[in-house]
């Protein structure tokens, strides 16, 4: 098991390197140069050139990339162009907000999606099932930012129940977390339903029923455990996607999270900031996927057995 984890962690290194290379290449295509961006459009050409030289921007592309990586390996991800503060200081200031939003959203999605999925499967083709299936389909197709606007219109502007921006009280979290969770909740519901329907048709469930085990126990103790495995597998990747996709929600609700920081950095062509944030998010994503895989192995006795033999 520990060998497997170690191997996976080692595999992250080339992936993060490729990520950094891809993003570095894209950003080097961006028009403009850092000297101009930091000093502004009115700066003297000599000052701009001097700053570009100081930042190493006048060197060839590959040399700049290798310098960036070797600095990064020493823990130096550069200074943000906008306020000359270390990139990771900025990231760590903004990240907790995005993390809190994504965590609350994934929990909401699980709490909403899985029970509804089970209910739909158990009462297949009933009214409840039809309503849930249709709603899941619709919510999977609703853009989060538009849903946010509609909910702000209803709950903040018309009814004045909930605040429309900022994050001072727990009430502030309701709308952003709900809109972020909706599409994942829809996916979890559909997935749980499908998997549950497959499970309750299996022989061991029929055996349990024929032995006279009460239906509730059959569902909750016999079927649910197996039916939830495929759902658990995807929860991790959905969490990773939510974490990297907070930009729109943060923009609508004016929240100062990592998404907002990245959007500003991209608009300002703040290269070190975008690089740092991308490497950070890609690493988080890989770690989340790794943790999910380990959890799955731990939960599923079949997978666990496969690894303990090795």
Partner 1 sequence: MNNLNLSKEIMAEYFGDDEQNFKKRSQIGEIWRRMRKNKTAVLGLVIIAIFAFLAIFAGIICDYDSMAIHQNIAERLQGPSAAHWFGTDTYGRDVFARVIHGGRISLSVGFISVSISALFGGLLGATAGLYGGKVDNLIMRFMDAVVSIPSMLLTLALVAALGHGIRNLLIAITIGQIPAFTRIVRASVLSVSSQEFVESARSYGTSTFRIIYRHIIPNAIGPIIVQATMSIAGTILQISGLSFLGMGIEAPAPEWGSMLSEARPIMRSSPHLVMFPGMAIVLAALAMNLIGDGLRDALDPKLKD
Interface with partner 1 (CB under 8 A):
14-16, 18-19, 22-23, 26-27, 29-31, 137-138, 140-143, 145-146, 149-150, 152-153, 157, 241, 243-245, 247-248, 251, 259, 262-263, 266-267, 269, 274, 277-278, 281-282, 285-286, 289
Can you tell me the distance from the alpha carbon of 291 to that of 23, in angstroms, rounded to the nearest whole number? Answer: 25
Which are the contacts of 37, defined by CB distance < 8 A and separation ≥ 6? 81, 268, 269, 270
User: Distance between CA 114 and CA 197 in Å, rounded?
Assistant: 13
- Smallest CA-to-CA distance from 51 within 77, 75, 84, 26 is with 84
Residues 7, 289: Cα–Cα separation, whole Å: 14
* Closest C-alpha to 32, from 50, 44, 48, 53: 48
Q: What's the min distance (Å) between Cβ of 46 and partner 1?
A: 27
- Closest contact distance (angstroms) between CB of 201 and partner 1 is 13
CA distance 114 to 239: 15
In the complex with partner 1, the residue whose CB is nearer, 27 or 303, is 27
Residue (222 or 238) nearer to partner 1, CB? 238
DSSP H or E segment with residue 171 = helix 171-199
Nearer to partner 1 by C-beta: 233 or 251?
251
Q: Which is nearer to partner 1, 156 or 224 (CB)?
A: 156
Q: Which is nearer to partner 1, 228 or 273 (CB)?
A: 273
SS3 state at 246: coil
Compare residues 191 and 218 and give the one whose CB is closer to partner 1: 191
Question: What is the smallest separation between the CB atom of 26 and partner 1, expressed in angstroms?
Answer: 5
Q: Which helix or strand (DSSP H or E) is residue 127 part of?
A: helix 127-140
Work out how close the CB of 140 gets to partner 1 at its nearest, in angstroms, rounded to a whole number: 6
44 burial (CB, 10 Å; 0-12 / 13-18 / 19+) is exposed
Is the CB of 190 or the CB of 219 nearer to partner 1? Answer: 190
3-state secondary structure of 117: helix
Q: How far is the CB of 131 from partner 1 (least distance, A)?
A: 14
SS3 for 73?
Answer: helix
Smallest gap from Cβ 86 to partner 1, in A, equals: 20
C-alpha to C-alpha distance for 55 and 74, rounded to whole angstroms:
17
Residue 42 CB, shortest distance to partner 1, in Å, is: 23
């Amino acid at each position: 098991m520990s060998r497997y984890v170690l191997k996976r962690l080692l595999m992250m290194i080339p992936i993060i390197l490729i990520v950094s290379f891809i993003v570095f290449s894209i950003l080097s295509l961006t028009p403009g140069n850092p000297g101009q961006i930091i000093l502004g459009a009115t700066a003297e050409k000599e000052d701009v050139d001097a700053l570009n030289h100081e930042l190493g921007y006048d060197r060839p592309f590959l040399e700049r990339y290798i310098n960036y990586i070797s600095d990064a390996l020493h823990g130096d991800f550069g200074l943000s162009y906008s306020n000359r503060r270390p990139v990771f200081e900025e990231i760590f200031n903004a990240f907790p907000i995005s993390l809190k939003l994504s965590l609350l959203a994934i929990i909401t999605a699980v709490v909403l999606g899985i029970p509804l999925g089970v209910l739909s499967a158990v009462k297949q083709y009933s009214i409840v099932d039809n309503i849930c299936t249709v709603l899941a389909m619709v919510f999977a197709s609703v853009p989060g930012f538009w849903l946010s606007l509609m909910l702000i219109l209803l709950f903040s502007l018309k009814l004045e129940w909930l605040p429309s921006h900022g994050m001072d009280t727990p009430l502030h979290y309701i709308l952003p977390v709900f809109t972020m969770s909706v599409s994942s909740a829809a996916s979890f519901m559909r997935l749980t339903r499908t998997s549950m329907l497959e499970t309750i048709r299996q022989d061991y469930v029929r055996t349990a029923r024929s032995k006279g085990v009460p239906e509730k126990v059959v569902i909750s103790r016999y079927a649910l455990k197996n039916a939830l495995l495929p759902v658990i597998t995807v929860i991790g990747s959905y969490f990773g996607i939510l974490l990297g996709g907070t930009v729109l929600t943060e923009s609508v609700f004016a929240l100062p999270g990592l998404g907002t920081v990245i959007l500003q950095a991209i608009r300002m062509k703040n290269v070190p900031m975008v690089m740092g944030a991308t490497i950070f998010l890609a690493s988080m994503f890989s770690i989340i996927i790794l943790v999910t895989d380990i959890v799955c192995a731990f939960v599923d006795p079949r997978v666990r057995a496969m690894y303990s033999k090795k």
